[in-house]
């Protein structure tokens, strides 16, 4: 977003309290199905029979990121709503995995929490936890804070300052979601609801909580063009997942700016979900990787490995700016070779033996390597 677009968006948003607009809309939608918020999604029917009907009918997702979790994963679902994605993911990750749903809406949390024992009985284990938190501030455990506030009288600015100190301390001493603790962060139609002022924090939080080598798989509504200022102040359009939608390329850029790499558009609906003022709004699912590069080794060419890019493109560039030409040997450091042997790159490259005898001991083609 350039400075001019940022200023216009803020001006329009000044008259709209994004948090309370979103809270009011989803409090109502937790109690009663709101069909305007429903974007058709085909979930894997094998997982649906274990989920209560009231959760299935209050489905406000736009994609299915649970397709991209694996057995044993620790999964974090941002904006878990009635819990549907958590209940599906719980079955995919199985009893050796774990699922954490985070939402800041009391009514949505109540719906998810009262459905949890139904799902546990149906699948035979309980590996889910629903937590109260804001996804742009995943250190702050709002359930914990609710308990503290029951005891704390706030009658003056001094009381309020004391509370803010306690809140800061809570973030440090008992973060809701710890650094590097999650294999995969998923989210289904939520990020667009976050206030633009909080979006940099939001993506930083996503990056913070994912384990090195882990990933984010996010389904959200994106826009074919920047959403104009005239639509920004409309509460219905904002809480209805329209006005806060990123333009497609800006959505991808937000992952990159936070430090993610290896971005992939996994799904992008051809038919728009809605067209408002000529702008197409559609569902997109993006996967982004927290790529583990050993910084001390990334510039270390003393133990180079050699790789060949398979194609089909004539050449490609990675997120660090390295170019690989189809069919040609490229010398890379040991740390880059380690990265290239993991998803999403492993299927794109072939590790080849080079001239250096060191390669068999240290390079990617050694005994534990990929050849």
Ligand X SMILES: C[S@@+](CC[C@H](N)C(=O)[O-])C[C@H]1O[C@@H](n2cnc3c(N)ncnc32)[C@H](O)[C@@H]1O
Could you give the C-alpha distances from 135 to 55, 171, 293, in angstroms and in order? 21, 14, 26
For every residue of 204-259, DSSP letters joined together read HHHHHHEEEEEEEEEEEEEESSPPPHHHHT-HHHHHTTSTTPEEHHHHHHHHHHHT
Out of 91, 116, 188, 333, point to the residue binding ligand X (CB under 6 A).
188
Kindly list the strands in the beta sheet with 329-332, ordered across the sheet, starting from the edge strand earlier in the chain.
Answer: 329-332, 305-309, 349-352
Comparing CB distances to ligand X, the nearer of 29 and 210 is 29
The answer to whether 65 touches 86, Cβ cutoff 8 Å, is no
Out of 116, 127, 136, 283, point to the residue binding ligand X (CB under 6 A).
136
Out of 134, 208, 215, 289, point to the residue binding ligand X (CB under 6 A).
134
Out of 13, 22, 51, 210, point to the residue binding ligand X (CB under 6 A).
22
- What span, in angstroms and rounded, lies between the C-alpha atoms of 203 and 206? 5
The answer to whether 279 touches 248, Cβ cutoff 8 Å, is no
> Is residue 85 at the binding interface for ligand X, with CB under 6 A as the rule?
yes
The answer to whether 290 touches 213, Cβ cutoff 8 Å, is yes
Comparing CB distances to ligand X, the nearer of 28 and 311 is 28
**Helices vs strands, H then E, count in the chain:** 14, 14
Token pair 């089909």 is found at 312
Comparing CB distances to ligand X, the nearer of 25 and 290 is 25
> Is residue 232 at the binding interface for ligand X, with CB under 6 A as the rule?
no
CB of 199 to ligand X, least distance (A): 10
User: DSSP 3-state assignment of 355?
Assistant: coil
With CB under 6 A as the contact rule, which of the stretches 129-137, 250-258, 261-269, 334-342 interacts with ligand X?
A: 129-137
- What span, in angstroms and rounded, lies between the C-alpha atoms of 135 and 2? 24
> Is residue 255 at the binding interface for ligand X, with CB under 6 A as the rule?
no
Instruction: Give the x-and-dash track for 52-81 against ligand X (CB under 6 A).
Output: -------xxx-----------------xxx
The answer to whether 58 touches 81, Cβ cutoff 8 Å, is yes
With CB under 6 A as the contact rule, which of the stretches 99-107, 227-235, 263-271, 274-282 interacts with ligand X?
A: 99-107
> Is residue 108 at the binding interface for ligand X, with CB under 6 A as the rule?
yes
Comparing CB distances to ligand X, the nearer of 16 and 104 is 104
With CB under 6 A as the contact rule, which of the stretches 128-136, 205-213, 284-292, 357-365 interacts with ligand X?
A: 128-136
Name residue 137's beta-bridge partners.
Answer: 134
Out of 190, 216, 258, 286, point to the residue binding ligand X (CB under 6 A).
190
Out of 51, 75, 100, 104, point to the residue binding ligand X (CB under 6 A).
104
Residues near ligand X (CB under 6 A): 22, 26, 59-61, 79-82, 84-85, 103-105, 108, 134-136, 188-190, 193-194, 241
């Amino acid at each position: 977003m350039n400075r001019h677009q940022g200023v216009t968006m803020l001006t329009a948003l000044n008259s709209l309290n994004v948090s309370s607009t979103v809270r009011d809309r989803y409090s109502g939608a937790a109690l009663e199905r709101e069909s305007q918020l429903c974007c058709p999604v085909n979930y894997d029917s094998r997982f649906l029979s274990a989920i209560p009907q009231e959760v299935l009918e209050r489905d406000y997702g736009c994609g299915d990121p649970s397709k991209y979790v694996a057995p044993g994963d620790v999964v974090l679902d941002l904006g878990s709503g009635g819990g549907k994605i958590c209940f599906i993911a719980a079955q995919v990750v199985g009893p050796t995995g774990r699922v954490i749903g985070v939402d800041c809406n009391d009514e949505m949390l109540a719906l998810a929490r009262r459905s949890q024992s139904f799902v546990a009985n149906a699948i035979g284990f309980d590996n889910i936890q629903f937590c109260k938190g804001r996804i742009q501030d995943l250190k702050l455990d709002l359930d914990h804070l609710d308990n503290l506030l029951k005891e704390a009288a706030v009658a003056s600015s001094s009381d309020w300052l004391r509370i803010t100190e306690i809140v800061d301390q809570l973030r440090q001493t008992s973060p809701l979601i710890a650094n590097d603790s999650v294999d995969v962060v998923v989210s289904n139609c939520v990020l667009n609801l976050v206030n633009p002022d909080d979006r940099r924090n939001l993506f930083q939080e996503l990056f913070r909580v994912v384990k090195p080598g882990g990933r984010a798989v996010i389904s959200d509504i994106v826009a074919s063009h920047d959403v104009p200022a005239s639509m920004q102040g409309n509460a219905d359009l904002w809480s209805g997942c329209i006005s806060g939608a990123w333009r497609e390329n800006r959505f991808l850029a937000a992952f990159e700016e936070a430090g993610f790499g290896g971005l992939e558009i996994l799904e992008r609906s051809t038919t728009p979900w809605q067209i408002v003022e000529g702008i197409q709004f559609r569902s997109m699912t993006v996967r982004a990787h927290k790529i583990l590069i050993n910084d001390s080794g990334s510039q270390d060419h003393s133990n180079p490995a050699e790789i060949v890019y398979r194609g089909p493109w004539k050449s490609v560039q990675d997120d660090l700016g390295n170019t690989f030409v189809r069919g040609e040997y490229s010398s890379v450091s040991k740390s880059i070779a380690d990265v290239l042997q993991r998803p999403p790159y492993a299927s794109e490259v072939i590790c080849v033996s080079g001239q250096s005898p060191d390669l068999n001991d240290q390079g990617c083609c050694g005994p534990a390597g990929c050849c």
